[in-house]
Structure 1
């Protein structure tokens, strides 16, 4: 029965969903008992089946925060699939979804920074400002992630947000290697980013190897 339900989710077949529930009223309860797994909502989100996803959340709200075997929520999958309508709807019904951590403690905010998705990055910060403090397993902020992936548009959104809310100190937070935003921008040869950062950071701060951004510049 679970396989039929997953097929209906993949196809976005709402009529099939309710037909299955009529035959087996406990099918969603059995799925919910599994701590980590791909629910029909995950499948619908990955495929961008908006109406099916809405019906599923109405029937089983807990599925919205459920994580699959890689720790991904339905929001993660909608974001990966670039299903914008679903992404917007998920954070509208539950802003805390922005904090759900997948493998590597990667939140949707981190992932948006990674893929240079400045639109959703801004929306995530709007609905959940505290998500800026979430760290990956490597102690990376979303700023670290954006710079390591050369996501310049995402970085500009983050910098603008940090300046607007007077939180530039987050730029100086260090990852597990002791590198802050300026260290990474210098190491990855992003001069335009460096020019923006030196206005807001202490240039003599040292990384885990006891090197300043200027030391890194000369090394490379």
Structure 2
């Protein structure tokens, strides 16, 4: 009888039937407390959450809030499943019952926010970071949630996280390989994501590192590299915007506070000089590329002319010359037997 009631409970969770749940609780008020005595890995709440039965999930949480903390064999809570599936309404109910579940990691070290970032669940991400803001700084095997958004190519989720985590060190965090989210997006050739990250003022731009990690196109190779015209447009546009904004701020500061020490003025000059050097580097590099292609084009024309000349020479003056008269093998053994070598044809034809 007890096994039958428990089976009915799990079947009700699969259908999302609240009426059956209420009937079972009336007949046995402790039925939800007996779940831990069964051999099932998941609780009815795990199943209900996974199948997006909102009302049934609410009823279970209201009857027994402790079900929110129960884990399956992979140490995943119902919040893990709801976050991965993007069930925002269910996530809200689970957070109201126990928001600290945001920081609980599963067997693979993933908190609910990691799963939401990997799946690009923007609304769920908003609910999770609103409940526990510090959860955004939790890393997964050395990667931040920003790295996860880039690695799984979810730009909207990345924008949400960047807007919520307005921390310079967080935005420029590196993974175990020493790459920031900007460098990872470059290596994965995500042009739109790279352009967005370059527009974020607090994102550091290391030109040499970008070339090393993702922009191999600059050294003449196109393997895993971003095409030159794409990165030209991205970097010049975004970097110019940053430099212009820096110069405008400096001008305003200089008019408002004219009395400054030489040391402070020297620091400001150095700060403006850094992006200027970057521009000089890019211009020099692009000039070099332009000259390189011009020289390559010239060399190819020389080679093509030489090949054409050799082909023409062979056609007009073949090796061995031409037969001067109609000849047979009896007259000249170099002529094939049984054939007549016609005058004007190539000897070696």
With structure 1 as the length reference, what TM-score do the two structures score?
0.82
For 2:112 and 2:181, locate their aligned partners in 1 and report how far apart those are by CA, in whole Å: 20
1:195 and 1:50, CA in 2 relative to 1: closer, same or farther beyond 3 A?
A: closer
Q: Which range is displaced more, 67-76 or 11-20?
A: 11-20
1:24 and 1:123, CA in 2 relative to 1: closer, same or farther beyond 3 A?
A: closer
Q: Which range is displaced more, 17-26 or 113-122?
A: 17-26
1:217 to 2:214 alignment: yes
Map residues 62-101 of structure 1 onto 2, 5 A cutoff: 62-101=66-105
**Pick from 164, 189, 193: which aligns with 1:161?**
164
1:147-166 deviations in whole A, cap 9, x for unaligned?
Answer: 00110001111111223xxx
With structure 2 as the length reference, what TM-score do the two structures score?
0.54
For 1:35 and 1:145, locate their aligned partners in 2 and report how far apart those are by CA, in whole Å: 35
Is the 8 Å Cα contact of residues 9 and 44 (structure 2) preserved in structure 1? yes
SS at match of 2:165: helix
Report 1 or 2 for greater relative contact order, CA contacts < 8 Å, sequence distance ≥ 6: 1
Question: Offset of 1:178 from its aligned partner?
Answer: 2.7
Question: Offset of 1:7 from its aligned partner?
Answer: 0.7
For 1:185 and 1:67, locate their aligned partners in 2 and report how far apart those are by CA, in whole Å: 35
Structure 1: runs of 5 or more not aligned: 206-210
**Pick from 139, 142, 146: which aligns with 1:139?**
142
RMSD: 2.6
Is the 8 Å Cα contact of residues 149 and 155 (structure 2) preserved in structure 1? yes
1:35 and 1:158, CA in 2 relative to 1: closer, same or farther beyond 3 A?
A: farther
Structure 2: runs of 5 or more not aligned: 217-224, 226-349
**Pick from 187, 194, 203: which aligns with 1:201?**
203
